[in-house]
């Protein structure tokens, strides 16, 4: 039976790996695999309801230290695991529809399923080591998902910011569990908490350990002073914002504090700090949320504020209220994010100033948003009302100041959420003609289901969660406070709506909160700067020494370089001369080439003329003359035989002539 | 001088035979020396005929001038020739007349053998040789054989005439024959001329013959005529003889350039007329230093004189 | 005068024919000169014969013959001198060799 527990985190992780493998060839399959994996995890969790299985093994044993790895399904873990798996499943289904037309689906769903797996591991972990590993895995998945659209500059920067700022908190977590390991000798959480309860450890050490763990929680939950990364993380896809940055991952910090509440319970100083951190964060974030114009950023600041409320509740010593609010918040905030995604999908914008009147074109979305918003605002009998009532009870039990603070927070929450809802969905005469429509059922289904959860879960859990969780029950709340909270909520809603109705989506309280936002940003950067400066000082020392060494080397080098430069000068002069000469030669050559060409052309023309003349002569005049010459030559050749140079031939001719004359003469004479 | 009829006929026949046979022998024998002797016989025959015709002076002149002068000169020239004895042609196939007149000639090597063995009497082996020759070639006919040989010569000359300047070997080959390639046409022509002349004489015998007897003292008559009527012709002949003698002497003397060496010297003089290093120039230059033009002239003259001296020295 | 004029003329004609043959057929210049002498002899014989039988009182024929003999002597002398010169230059007296001017 215990083995079934392994399936819970492993199913999404296996789905993630297979999605990565299959995704390249079948991108559609990646989403289904993620849904399937998450569904298996959820079903396994449901099958394990009522049981408390535990798997734990020693990974490494070295001298006094034992590194254990294990899973354990206790009520808190079961609550959060159900939350993660359930909300995760719905949002995964929503994401399948939402990301249908995006590239890199395999990457997205693999990371998404990986995140769910890591988150389940985180909430089920029985070992600080495994918790830390899952914590880091969640951070990596968050980084990858925020930077999913890595081609956008904003997304890239937001991803880096989120990763590095949470790293500061993670450093605290790391140091904390290492200290625990050093102090207790094991990473097993139950053992550690048992040691804390038995006061086997020194108080100072515990305080420091608690502070370190608090730092980790602050980082992960975007509390002061590390708030800035969460609103920036809205650059990621909306399903990511809904799942990671509202329902699950940011709740990991609160979960850590809840899980280790016995530790914090023994160190009231730290608990006090938690109260202040949470309270201030909640207040500031709520104020900042009233000035935002980006719908998702409003929700992001709202999340920060709500997380601050949880810490506030924790700081007041009310883990039950914190867990309660964590659960309800996950539902209604993810619902709000999903509606924001639907609006974004339909209108391609999240700017309040450009939106308006979507109530007509997107009635279902508007309905869902309205339900979730009312739940957030704490309107009874919706879920937010119950959880905030629990916190209020805790605060009232402590004193009037925390209660008033909480009332203020409720009031502010009502303002910013009603402002956003009215600005987006209510009809405004000055708003542009609304475009868009309700999304398909693939998106709408999870939204509606989550909205139903947001509406009813609070009431469902009311009175039962105390029995479920092992935390001390919260005190009863006075009716005055209860009515005050409802009034504050309604007043906030009314004020926010009225402001928007009158003057559009302007900041409810003017521009001051905006300055506050910048201040928060700066405050966020302060620890980072400090860390940077610290490292810079060390760097500076190193650089100084380096520079000394380099200076010595540089002097020697400069001497050599001087020589070299002189040589280079000579070289350059020689090169210059050579180049000039070459250029002159090239010029000459070109001129000569020109002459050559001209001469060649002239020669060619002359040659052609000569050839023509030659042909003419050869065929005409020359042939005739040749024939004449040949005639004379032949005649001369025949005649020259007469002039043989032979004396006897001449005498023969002479005598023949004489004979002829004699004969002819004699015949003439006689006849 | 008056002879009886029989004596006249005998004398005429003898003289005519000697003249004709001598001429024929001269023309046909292979030995140039024999030709000269035959010619002398012919002259003697003709001289006899002159005397028979009462031209005593001319007969004597014939003998004196031709035989005493010209024939000696001819024989002298014959000695210049390549083969005066006809030894080269002795062993050849010859026509009957030429063979008759060449009878007794020996080929050079045989003649030398013979001279070494039989000092005085060379006739016996000569005749045997000739007979052997004839026995071997009796069937072929001498005319044909000779004709073939001359045809070959004719062909050679016909080609050689165009190829002019034959080398020495060719001349040697040409020297083999005594006669020209047109010997047969020449013979035909000669016979034709003789036949025509004789025919003309026989066909037209009517000459205005007078019976008068000339003055036997013909020398006186000729002397009177020469000194009287033909004085100018006589003087002209004398002048002609004088010029002929001058010319002959002028042509035949060694002259400035009697041989190749002399000609080369002349060429050298023409090429370098100044000849500044000539030692003969020295005294002239010392006596009277001339300018360049005079120097050239003097040098040339001097050189010629030297050459002439050399030539005489050689002679 | 038993011997008729024709007999002398026939002898002259035969000598003339032989002379012609000698002049034409002989290659040596000396032999050609000899042939010429024969020709001249034949002419002289004819002249003397005609003188004796036709005009015995006129001795001009003898003068003429004497001139012919004289000219013959001169001709022989000059011819032999030319021959000598040619022989010096050409080392031969064959008239065949004297053909530089042939066409």
pLDDT tens across B122-153, in order?
Answer: 444 444 444 444 433 433 434 444 444 444 44
Q: What is the pLDDT of residue A28?
A: 79
A302-311, A421-430, A642-651, B104-113, range with the lowest pLDDT: B104-113
Chain C: residue nearest B243 by CA? C74
Structure tokens at A33: 């695999």
Mean pLDDT on C44-50: 90
- Total number of domains in chain A: 1
Instruction: Calculate mean pLDDT across residues A478-507.
Output: 80
Calpha distance B215→C62 (Å, rounded): 13
The more confidently predicted of residues A368 and B101 is A368
- For residue B275, being part of any structural domain is answered with yes
Asked if A304 and A280 count as a contact pair (C-beta separation under 8 A), the reply is no
Bond before A79 cis per omega within 30 degrees: no
Mean pLDDT for A214-234 is 85
pLDDT band at residue A662, thresholds of 50, 70 and 90? confident
Over residues B281-301, the mean pLDDT reads 49
Residue-wise pLDDT tens digits, A183-212: 888 888 888 888 888 877 788 888 888 899
Question: A435 lies in which domain range?
Answer: 282-298+313-332+345-444+455-510
Contacts of C34 in chain A (CB under 8 A): none
For an interface test with B, give the residue of C9, C40, C41 to mutate (most B CBs within 10 A). C41
Residue B45 in this model has a pLDDT that exceeds 50: yes
Residue B260 pLDDT level (bands cut at 50, 70, 90): low
Min distance C26 CA to chain A CA atoms (Å): 8
Give the model's pLDDT for residue B266.
58
The secondary structure of chain B in percent helix, strand, coil, rounded to multiples of 5, reads 70, 0, 30
Residue B309 pLDDT level (bands cut at 50, 70, 90): low
Only one residue has tokens 């989403």, namely A31
Mean pLDDT score of chain A:
83
Distance (Å) from the C-alpha of residue B263 to the closest C-alpha of chain A?
25
For residues A366-388, give the mean pLDDT.
85
Place of tokens 């020209």: B180
Q: What is the pLDDT of residue B301?
A: 53
What is the pairing mode between strands A65-72 and A54-62? antiparallel
Which fold would CATH assign to domain C5-93?
A: Helix Hairpins (1.10.287)
More confident residue, A302 or B285: A302
Pick from A443-457, B34-48, B49-63, B258-272: least confident:
B258-272
Could you tell me if B40 lies within 8 Å of chain C, comparing CB atoms?
Answer: no
Please give the tally of structural domains in chain B.
1
Contact check, Cβ <8 Å, A659/B161: no
Chosen for mutation from A633, A640, A645 (greatest number of chain C CBs closer than 10 Å) is: A645
Task: List the subunits that have 3+ CB pairs under 8 angstroms with C.
Answer: A, B
d(CA B95, CA B99): 6
| Residues above pLDDT 90, as percent of chain A | 3
What ipTM describes this predicted complex? 0.89
The verdict on a CB contact (< 8 Å) between B186 and A652 is yes
pLDDT of residue B246: 85
Q: What is the pLDDT of residue C102?
A: 64
Interchain contact, C71 vs B240, CB within 8 Å:
yes
**Bond into A225 cis (ω within 30):** yes
Distance CA A327, CA A247 (A): 8
b/e map of B168-203 (b: 16 or more CB within 10 Å)? eeebeebbebbbbbbbbbbbebbebbbebbbeebee
Across the range B260-279, mean pLDDT stands at: 57
Report pLDDT for B174: 44
Do C52 and B78 count as a contact with CB atoms less than 8 A apart? no
Domain extent listing, chain C: 5-93
**Mean pLDDT of the B214-234 span:** 83
* B6 φ/ψ angles, rounded to the nearest 5 degrees: -65, -45
Residues of A in contact with B163 (CB under 8 A): none
State the average pLDDT over residues B72-100: 72
Q: Which helix or strand (DSSP H or E) is residue A54 part of?
A: strand A54-62
The boundaries of the domain holding residue B312 are 231-315
Higher pLDDT, A510 or B192: B192
pTM over 0.90: no
What's the mean pLDDT when you consider all of chain B?
Answer: 67
pLDDT of residue B158: 39
B14 touches chain C (CB under 8 A): no
3-state secondary structure of B144: helix
**Residues C8, B171: C-beta atoms closer than 8 Å:** no
Mean pLDDT within C99-103: 64
- Rounded to a whole number of angstroms, the distance from the CA of B58 to the nearest CA of chain C is 7
What integer is the mean pLDDT of B43-66?
87
pLDDT above 80 (res A604): yes
pLDDT per residue over A242-259, tens digit each?
888 888 888 888 899 888
pLDDT at site B172: 42
Q: Is B293 contained in some domain? A: yes
Task: Compute the average pLDDT of residues A380-401.
Answer: 83
Q: What is the pLDDT of residue B90?
A: 64
Q: Which of B161, B164, B189 minimises the CB distance to A655?
A: B189
Instruction: Please give the interface size between B and C, counted as residue pairs whose CB atoms are below 8 Å apart.
Output: 283
- Select from C22, C35, C60 the Cβ nearest to the Cβ of B225: C60
Could you say which of B65, B230, B234 has the minimum Cβ distance to residue C69? B65
Q: What is the pLDDT of residue A289?
A: 85
Q: What is the pLDDT of residue B269?
A: 61
For the residues C57-62, what does the mean pLDDT come to?
84
Structure tokens at A409: 């927070």
B58–C contact, CB cutoff 8 A: yes
Range from A39-48, A244-253, B95-104 that averages highest in pLDDT: A39-48
Residue in B164, B186, B192 closest to A659 by CB = B192
Q: What is the mean pLDDT of residues A630-640?
A: 85
Residues 223-252, chain B, touching C (beta carbon < 8 A): 225-226, 229-230, 233-234, 237, 240-241, 243-245, 247-252
Residues 623-662 of A with CB under 8 A from C: 639-648, 651-652, 655
Which secondary-structure segment (H or E) carries A437?
none
Are A641 and C103 an interchain contact pair (Cβ–Cβ within 8 Å)?
yes
- Confidence band (pLDDT; 50, 70, 90) for A288? confident
Contacts of B179 in chain A (CB under 8 A): none
pLDDT band at residue B267 under the 50/70/90 scheme: low
Q: How far apart are CA A134 and CA A142, in angstroms?
A: 12
Which residues of chain B make contact with A666, given a CB cutoff of 8 A? 200
C27 interfacial to chain A (CB closer than 8 Å)? yes
Rounded mean pLDDT, A104-118: 88
């Amino acid at each position: 039976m215990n083995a079934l527990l392994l399936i819970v985190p492993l199913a999404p992780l296996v789905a993630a790996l297979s999605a990565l493998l299959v995704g390249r060839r079948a991108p559609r399959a990646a989403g289904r695999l993620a849904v399937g994996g998450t569904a298996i995890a959820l079903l396994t969790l449901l099958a394990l309801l009522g049981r408390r299985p535990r798997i734990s093994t020693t990974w490494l044993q070295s001298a006094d230290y034992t590194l254990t790895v294990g899973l354990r399904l206790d009520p808190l873990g079961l609550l959060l695991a159900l939350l993660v798996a359930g909300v995760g499943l719905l949002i995964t289904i929503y994401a399948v529809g939402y990301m249908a037309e995006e590239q890199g689906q395999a990457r997205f769903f693999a990371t998404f399923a990986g995140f769910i797996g890591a988150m389940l591991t985180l909430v089920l972990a029985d070992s600080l080591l495994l918790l830390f590993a899952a914590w880091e895995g969640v951070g990596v998945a968050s980084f990858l998902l925020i930077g999913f659209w890595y081609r956008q500059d904003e997304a890239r920067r937001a991803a880096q910011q989120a990763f590095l700022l949470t790293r500061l908190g993670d450093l605290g977590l790391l140091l904390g569990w290492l200290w625990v390991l050093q102090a207790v000798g094991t990473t097993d959480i139950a053992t550690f908490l048992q040691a804390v309860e038995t006061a086997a450890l020194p108080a100072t050490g515990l305080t420091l350990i608690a502070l370190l763990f608090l730092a980790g929680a602050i980082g992960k939950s975007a509390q002061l002073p590390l708030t800035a990364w969460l609103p920036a993380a809205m650059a990621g896809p909306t399903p990511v914002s809904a799942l990671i940055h509202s329902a699950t991952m940011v709740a990991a910090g609160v979960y850590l504090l809840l899980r280790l509440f016995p530790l914090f319970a023994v160190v009231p100083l730290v608990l006090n700090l938690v109260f202040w951190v949470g309270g201030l964060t909640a207040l500031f974030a709520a104020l900042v949320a009233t000035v935002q114009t980006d719908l998702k950023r409003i929700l992001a600041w709202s999340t920060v504020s709500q997380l601050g409320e949880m810490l506030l509740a924790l700081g007041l010593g009310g883990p039950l209220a914190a867990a309660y609010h964590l659960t309800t918040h996950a539902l209604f905030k993810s619902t709000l994010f999903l509606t924001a995604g639907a609006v974004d999908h339909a209108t391609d914008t999240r700017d309040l100033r450009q939106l308006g009147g979507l109530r007509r074109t997107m009635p279902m979305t508007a309905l869902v948003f309205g339900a979730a918003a009312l739940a957030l605002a704490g309107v009874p009998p919706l879920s937010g009302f119950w959880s905030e009532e629990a916190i209020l009870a805790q605060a009232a039990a402590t004193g009037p100041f925390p209660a008033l603070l909480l009332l203020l927070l409720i009031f502010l929450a009502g303002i910013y959420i009603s402002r956003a809802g009215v600005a987006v969905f209510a009809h405004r005469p000055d708003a542009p003609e609304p475009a868009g429509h309700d999304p398909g059922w693939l998106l709408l289904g999870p939204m509606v289901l989550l909205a139903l959860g947001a509406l009813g879960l609070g009431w469902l859990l009311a009175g039962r969660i105390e029995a479920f969780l092992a935390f001390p029950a919260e005190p009863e709340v006075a009716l005055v406070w209860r009515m005050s909270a409802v009034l504050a909520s309604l007043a906030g809603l009314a004020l926010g709506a009225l402001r928007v109705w009158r003057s559009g989506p302007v900041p409810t309280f003017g521009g001051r909160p905006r300055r506050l936002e910048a201040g928060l940003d700066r405050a966020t950067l302060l620890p980072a700067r400090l860390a940077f400066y610290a490292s810079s000082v060390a760097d500076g020392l190193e650089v100084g020494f380096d520079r000394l060494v380099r200076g010595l080397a540089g002097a020697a080098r400069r001497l050599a370089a001087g020589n070299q430069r002189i040589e280079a000068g000579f070289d350059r002069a020689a090169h210059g001369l050579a180049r000039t000469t070459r250029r002159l030669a090239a010029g000459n050559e070109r001129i000569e080439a020109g002459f050559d060409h001209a001469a060649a052309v002239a020669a060619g023309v002359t040659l052609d003329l000569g050839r023509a003349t030659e042909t003419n002569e050869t065929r005409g005049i020359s042939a005739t003359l040749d024939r004449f010459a040949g005639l004379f030559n032949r005649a001369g050749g025949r005649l020259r035989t007469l002039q043989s140079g032979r004396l006897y031939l001449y005498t023969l001719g002479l005598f023949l002539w004489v004979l002829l004359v004699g004969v002819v003469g004699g015949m003439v004479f006689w006849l | 001088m008056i002879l009886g009829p029989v004596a006249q006929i005998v004398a005429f026949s003898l003289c005519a035979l000697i003249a004709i046979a001598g001429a024929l022998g001269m023309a046909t024998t292979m030995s140039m020396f024999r030709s000269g002797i035959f010619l002398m016989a012919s002259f003697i025959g003709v001289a006899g005929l002159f005397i028979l015709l009462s031209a005593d002076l001319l007969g004597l002149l014939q003998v004196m001038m031709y035989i005493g002068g010209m024939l000696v000169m001819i024989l002298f020239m014959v000695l210049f020739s390549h083969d005066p004895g006809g030894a080269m042609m002795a062993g050849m196939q010859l026509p009957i007349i030429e063979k008759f007149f060449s009878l007794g000639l020996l080929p050079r090597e045989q003649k030398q053998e013979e001279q070494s063995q039989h000092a005085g009497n060379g006739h016996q082996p000569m005749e045997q040789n000739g007979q052997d020759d004839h026995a071997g070639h009796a069937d072929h006919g001498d005319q044909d054989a000779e004709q073939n040989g001359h045809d070959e010569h004719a062909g050679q000359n016909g080609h050689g005439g165009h190829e002019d300047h034959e080398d020495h070997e060719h001349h040697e080959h040409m020297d083999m024959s005594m006669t020209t390639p047109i010997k047969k046409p020449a013979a035909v022509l000669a016979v034709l001329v003789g036949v025509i002349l004789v025919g003309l004489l026989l066909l037209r015998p009517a000459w205005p013959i007078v019976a008068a007897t000339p003055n036997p003292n013909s020398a006186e008559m000729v002397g009177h005529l020469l000194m009287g009527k033909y004085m100018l012709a006589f003087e002209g002949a004398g002048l002609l003889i004088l010029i002929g003698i001058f010319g002959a002497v002028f042509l035949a003397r060694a002259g400035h350039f009697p041989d190749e060496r002399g000609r080369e010297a002349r060429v050298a003089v023409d090429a370098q007329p100044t000849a500044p290093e000539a030692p003969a120039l020295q005294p002239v230059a010392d006596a009277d230093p001339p300018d360049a033009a005079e120097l050239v002239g003097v040098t040339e003259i001097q050189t010629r004189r030297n050459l002439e001296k050399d030539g005489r020295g050689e002679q | 005068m038993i011997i008729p004029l024709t007999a002398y003329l026939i002898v002259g004609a035969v000598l003339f024919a032989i002379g012609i043959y000698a002049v034409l057929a002989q290659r040596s210049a000396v032999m050609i000169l000899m042939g010429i002498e024969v020709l001249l002899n034949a002419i002289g014989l004819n002249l003397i014969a005609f003188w004796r039988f036709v005009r015995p009182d006129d001795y001009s024929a003898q003068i003429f013959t004497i001139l012919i003999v004289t000219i013959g002597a001169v001709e022989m002398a000059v011819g032999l001198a030319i021959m000598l010169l040619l022989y010096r230059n050409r080392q031969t007296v064959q008239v065949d060799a004297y053909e530089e001017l042939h066409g």
